[in-house]
Amino acid sequence: MAVDADRMQKPVRKIRKLLKNMSTSPGQDEVHDLRTNSRRIEATLHALSLDSGRPERQALKQISKLRKRAGKVRDMDVLTSYASQVPRLDGEQECSVDLLEYLGAQRQKYANKLDLVIKQYASPLRKRLKQTSRQMDKALHRNGSRDSSGNTVNTKAAASALHLLSELTQPAHLGRNNLHPYRLKVKELRNVLEMAENAKEKEFVKRLGEVKDAIGEWHDREELLTIAKDVVNHRPNCQLLAELRKTADAKFKTALALAESMRKQFLRVSERADKRSSRANTRGPAEPVWSATAALAA
């Protein structure tokens, strides 16, 4: 196995198509695709050191802005879904309606801002992404030969994965203050590993996805709780806030347990690290981790 050329190019094709056809009021699937594929392009260009040329730098700058705008819309979609799932609580109907109305209004505001950025960037970014696609093709076609540093596309991707892998062994202890930043590292490593052929069949890649999703849901639940506290005129002992807090706490415990289990099983991070230490002790990655990383370099 090795780097999958079609998997690398697919996000570029999707973003170019979205920029051409995206509706003024984008649906959840369009927003999700824009955000997810933007992340994948960023990860690919960084991993393969294709982010130094002027067209690529300009493309990355504009993709980053699009991704962030799309992220705001996506957040409102997810939070609205979670708010709608809260069980009916006696005397809390007005609070629930106020919360949903606020989320809907925020969604529309962020969608309008996303639309403005798309209109501004669509044409030039589609051209830049076409150039980026050519650069990827060139890199892939010369993959059998080495560049000035003696590296091939496969070895660059594998080296990037190893660097990100080392970051996942830190910090020594995970908690509320660092669990969400840790998720960003998990997501980036997963995006790089997914460049390999048959990557999704790899046990470690699957586990990274589970950890990413669990931490993401906990963070979203915390955001919903924060918004509910700020925008709804709650009565004393509000049951809605209590329910949202209970759910967020449960999701945190689940996410933390999954992340710590992954670190112990796959990264072999020791649980006996000194509580005062900021550095984790590790015995080196387990075989499934090497298997997923080696798939890039094969």
Reported as a single tens digit per residue, the pLDDT across 243-294 is 999 999 999 999 999 999 999 999 998 765 555 555 667 778 899 999 999 8
Cβ-contact 298, 154 below 8 angstroms: yes
DSSP 3-state of 176: coil
pLDDT at 149: 46
| CA 121/CA 284 separation, integer angstroms | 44
pLDDT at 222: 98
Q: Quick one: CA torsion of 132, 137, 143, 146, rounded to 10 degrees? A: -50
Number of domains in the chain: 1
Q: Would you place residue 6 in the very low, low, confident or very high pLDDT band (cuts 50, 70, 90)?
A: confident
For residue 165, give the nearest of 64, 268, 275 by alpha carbon.
268
| CA 133/CA 298 separation, integer angstroms | 23
Identify the domain containing residue 86 by its residue range: 5-143+150-297
Question: What tens digit of pLDDT does each residue of 12-34 get?
Answer: 999 999 999 998 889 999 999 99
What the block records as the tokens of 175 is: 């908690």
Question: What tens digit of pLDDT does each residue of 142-191 get?
Answer: 655 444 444 578 888 889 999 999 999 999 899 999 999 999 999 999 99
Q: Quick one: CA torsion of 60, 66, 68, 73, rounded to 10 degrees? A: -160
Q: What is the pTM of this model?
A: 0.88
Omega before residue 171 within 30° of 0, cis:
yes
- CATH number of the structural domain spanning residue 242: 1.40.20.10
